[in-house]
Amino acid sequence: MTGCESSGNSNASDEYTRMRINMIERQIKARGVSDKTVLDAMMKVERHLFVPKELEARAYADYPLPIGEDQTISQPYIVALMTELMGLKGGEKVLEIGTGSGYQAAVLGEICGEVYTIEIVEALAKRSNALLKKLGYKNLRVPSSYRYINPF
């Protein structure tokens, strides 16, 4: 819906595109995720942008990766499965708890009208907010939610 703008040079971009296609075919579709909207969103969001630079080559692998602050980015299949199980039709307003790297929020942002995502780890909230803005997501709201911990 709002789109991810591509980054990097053409050769690297082509390689990451191949890796994303492979991820979708071998990890996600092969395990039964079939919602075209979810598959299209997973294809559009460049997962390597949501992991630390030194882990970009492993971004499309079928396991979680550390993103700092003792947190991980979920494996691609889990993101696809959770998104499919939501039964989204497009245009919904969604609340995500635990922004982390912002990857799941970006996938949701490709489908939903509005995504509100809360992260209690200040460093992750700031990093994901900056990245999502840089990528052009206008329908995602990432407040400095680490402040919300006090009432809970």
CATH number at residue 66: 3.40.50.150
Residue 107 domain-assigned (yes or no): yes
Residue 117 domain-assigned (yes or no): yes
Residue 144 domain-assigned (yes or no): yes
Q: What pLDDT, on the 0 to 100 scale, is given for residue 147? A: 54
Residue 38 domain-assigned (yes or no): yes
- 10 and 144 in contact (C-beta within 8 Å)? no
The one-character DSSP state at 48 is G
Active-site positions read: 74
Residue 74 domain-assigned (yes or no): yes
Residue 138 domain-assigned (yes or no): yes
pLDDT at 61 over 70: yes
pLDDT class for 151, splitting at 50, 70, 90? very low
Host domain of residue 43: 10-149
Residue 5 domain-assigned (yes or no): no
The one-character DSSP state at 23 is I
Taking only the tens place, the pLDDT of each residue in 68-107 is 999 999 999 999 999 999 999 999 999 999 999 999 999 9
Q: What is the largest CA-CA distance in the chain?
A: 48
Burial of 140 (0-12, 13-18, 19+ CB in 10 A): buried
Q: What pLDDT, on the 0 to 100 scale, is given for residue 9? A: 62
95 C-beta neighbours (distance < 10 Å), count: 11
Q: Is the pTM of this model over 0.75?
A: yes
Taking only the tens place, the pLDDT of each residue in 19-59 is 999 999 999 999 999 999 999 999 999 999 999 999 999 99
Residue 3 domain-assigned (yes or no): no
How many folded domains does the chain comprise?
1
- 73 and 64 in contact (C-beta within 8 Å)? yes
Q: In terms of pLDDT, which residue wins out, 108 or 151?
A: 108
